[in-house]
Structure formats: C-alpha cells, structure tokens
Structure 1
Amino acid sequence: MSCIGRFAPSPTGPLHFGSLLAALASYLDMRSRNGEWLLRIEDLDPPREQPGAVDSILHTLDAFGLHWDGPVIYQSTRLKCYQDALEQLLDQGTAYRCSCSRKQLRTRGVTGLYDGHCRRHPPSASASCAVRVIHPQAEQQFHDRIQGFRTYDWQNDRGDFVVFRRDGLFAYQLAVVVDDAAAGVTDIVRGSDLIDETPHQIALQTLLGYSTPQYAHIPVITNPAGQKLSKQNLAPAIDPGQRQQLLLRALSLLGQKPPADLATASRDELLSWAITHWNITAVPGTLSLCEPET
C-alpha cells in the first residue's frame, strides 16, 4: 500500500519557521518513500482567520519547493461530513451533550481534564450545548515514530473531549480525524505540540470505524524565553528569498546533517539530497528545541 501524508495549516497568518519545519519533515517522509503529500487548509474558525493567509501559505510552500499532490482540501467545504460523523457518535451512544461553560468549570475547580459532570447530569433539551465524546479506554498507549511509546491515564470519565463547540463550530479533533480518513492518510508527521491530542484522535478513529495512521511528532522550536514559535507569539513569517538558508537550518534541526558543500546548492538540489538521505530516526526525540541564535 502506498503511503499518504499531509500538511494541514490554519489560515491564521503566514507560515513561520516552526511551520516550515513541520511541513518539510512531513514532505520528506513521504517523498523518500514515493508517497503522496496532501495539503489541507484547516479553515474552521473564521474569527481567527487572517485575510490573505491562504494565498500566502500556498505561495510560500511553492517558493520552498514543497509541492503537494492533488487539489488543496478546505475544511470549510466539508461541514456535512463532520455533521454525519457527529450524528454517528450520538446515535451509537458514544457522545453526549455538554452545557458546561468555562465559568462553571472554573467554579468546580476543573483546570485540566473534564470532570464528567454532564455525562452524569444530562442538560435540558433546550440548553446550548457542546458535544463530548466518551473516551473508550481508561488507559491508552500509542507508539510515536520519533518520541517512542506514550501512555495516558484518563481516570474514568476524565478523558471525555469536545468534538462540537457551544458556539456551533466543529472542533479540531473531529474534523482532522474525518478528513484524514477520507483522504486515506497513512502517516502523520507534525509538531509535538499536538502529541497529547493524538490519543483522542485514535479513540475517535476507533469509534468511527477508521484505520489509525502512523504518528511521528517532531520537536517544536522555542525562542530563548521557552515559548513555542507560533503566530500567537508573533513569530516572523519566513522569507522565500532566504529559502536555501532556511532549508539548511531546518534540515540540521531535524538531525539530517546536510554536508557543508550544500551551502551553495540550489533549492531543488537541497530537496533532492534531503529526500534521498531522509532518516526519521535521526530526528531528535525531544518535545522541543530552542531556536539557535541567527
């Protein structure tokens, strides 16, 4: 079976260096195995989206030589698919309505995992509700190709998670699982900031009857203050005019050890070398790496 990977940015701003690292790792992992690499735009949260961000993302990926296969997939066009999956979960009794507000959670002292209140005390039919999925396992383990085995203890109903929000938007967890299954994605390479979302996604795959992809989480890049490079932390956009230098820097951070003579190589020569020599076992098995001085 051929392997299929994907890169799935949100259009909340231009790509930054952390985005490039994730895109490059996913791209190389697929191209080194003659697999397909898909591009999905996760545009499910309009208030957070930035005008022009989609065009900027597409232009930047193209400028860096990270060319995707097939048409770009937009989550905003797939709402019926998410609704169908949500109804399946409710019909089979593996999800429930939840009316808890953030204020109510704070009042009950809930700061991390949900306390299962609405599973034990169902809200009225007229209440404005989110939908939570019942986590099917008290303990869960999965193997990450970079980070190794990960184990989670959900403490009875404390692993229940939101798949539909009270504001009427589908949650990330549901959309990403439905889309990966529809596209036949076999391998997911992404940043370690999403590693703790993985057990929820695996649970959803099981409940919806989907197969589970292989997962690999690369370290996220942090600034000297320990903050992850992100649009929220005002990480600067990557400059396509510096693509060779940025690609070399990304390859080094991914543990690929590009030789010194690639310093004068073209973009395509760099990518050709990286595809041929890609070694995922060389990627550092840490959750974060501090951004080096430049």
Structure 2
Amino acid sequence: MDPPKGPVYVAIIDWEARNSTQLSIIKGEKLEIKKECTNGWWLARSLDTDHEGFVYINHIKKDEESELSTLESLELFHYAMTENVDIPIIKEIKMRSNVERASLFLSLIKQDSVLLDQLRKKEDGKPKAIRWYDDGVELTSPSLIQCQEVVSLLTYKHRSIVIKESSPDIVCDLLPVLLQNEKVKHLTIEDTQLTQDCISSLCNLLANNKSLLDLFFTNCSIDDKAVADITNVLHTHNNTLLGLVFFNNPRITSVSAQSLSELIINNSTLTKLEVRGTSVSSDGILLILQSLTINKNIKLFLSMKDKDTCTEYHDYNTLKDRLIFM
C-alpha cells in the first residue's frame, strides 16, 4: 500500500456509504485526503483498506499524530508569521531576518512535537476569511480587497464559489465578476441577507449567463418576490442552470408555489429543485407535485415534514423516485 502523499485525517464516527461514490468508514480509521471540495464531501483513501471514496468533513478530523507534509508546514509558517501567535519561541523567530525565519521555523516544528501540536490547534481553530479547495474557494465575511484578490487568482479548476456571512454590498460587487466568468459553474450564498438590489442584479446576470450550473441560497432572507424574479428569468432567458436550491429561507411561502410550478413546467434543463426549510404549506407542495407529472426530468428535495403530504398524493407512486426527503 502506498504511503500517504496528502494530509491524513481520522474518522470520528462509524459511517456506512449510501452510494458507490462514498467511502464507508470506521471510527479511528486513518484516511489520506486526496481532494478537498467546497461542498464538504472530500475524496479520501483508507490507509487500512486502500479503498477510495468521498467522506463528509463532519465525520473526520485532522490526525494530530500524522507526519508533517510540506503543504501543512508552509500553511503553519504563514499562520505563525502573519498572526499574533502568543508563543515565546515564535515571537523570537519573527525577530530574525526573512531568510532565517523559514529554515528556523521548519526545523523547530519537526523537532518539537508539543509546539507543532499547539500551532495545529491554534491554526485549525482560526476562522479563515478565504479558504481554497481543490475545486474552488470559500469566502467568509470577506472584504472587497479580499474578494478582488480571490477573483484575480481563479483558475480553470476553481469551478465552485461559496460566499458566507457577507454584506449585501459585497455580494452585489462580486456577482457581475463571478457570473461573467465562464469558469464558475457552482455558486453558493449562505447566511447572507440578500437585498432586492442583489436579486435584481443576479437576475440580470442570469439572463445572459451560459455557464452557471448550480445556484444555492441557504438562509439568505429569500422571499416570494425574489423567488418570482429568479424563476421568471430561468424559464424565459436561461437554459443552462441544472440545480436551484432554496434552503432554510422561511420567508418563502405558498405564494411561491405557483412560480415554482411554472418553472418546473417551462424549464427543460433544470434537474434539481430544493425547497427545504421554507414556509410552503401542504397545498403549495401539492401544486408543485402536479407540475412534476408534466416535467419528468427534475428531482424535488423536500423537508421530512412534507413526506406525509406527498405520500397521500394520488400520483405519489409515479413520482416517488424523484422525491427526496431530508
């Protein structure tokens, strides 16, 4: 079995794979991480079985006993030199010349396991405004300068962008740059209060966008007016988007059921629609189900509370393979 080349993590629970792309894990099992993805599912190789598959980041943690990789060494060096790390020896190293700092630091953490453990815990617990993954980047409460820096560094492999806990102004500034960039295929906005100006800007951009495949809104104060605007542009001007997610947006009510139904009927490219964590009533869910009998290509993701309503629908058996309850 080949030794790990990437970072090593350890499973913190037993977990059984639910499909062929996932990896079953046993608590305590060590895993080499081969690809870190923005959606939280990371490609891993078991160091016990040599099997590969995707594991969820909440089910694993960094193995503090693993050998120090070159990448981790550089990340820890950057953290120690740029942050206010309250460790005396680190403060001493900061006083040295630029040439001396790196060699002293790298030599020290290879010899001092206690210091290495301290730095790992501090660095791991520090919130990161910008976090790069193999498939994209996650921005948390970013400044405009940080956003500009990220945009300048995007390459063909950075297909997924996640914006979290941002201000509406930052989102409005970012949207044109991101949606006019053909590399960006997946856009997620989380825990951000989107204004009507943001929604209007987004809709104007979606009307001309031919590259975005997935659009996710999680806890973004999306309301019925926003849903109407977004669904209207998707069934009149956009034939590229495959996935649309409105998750944990309780201001979406049954008023939106008509807009969502019309989208399902009139849009032939969409394959995934999610309305979990909204305030759509049973009657609204039934209206949406009716549209699924016309468009047979789309899967609908709903909350568990909607399951009884769906199972009582007269065409449930026809639709059940396209209804996912979570």
Q: TM-score, normalised by structure 1?
A: 0.28
Structure of higher CA gyration radius: 2
Which structure is richer in relative contact order (CA contacts within 8 A, separation 6 or more)? Answer: 1
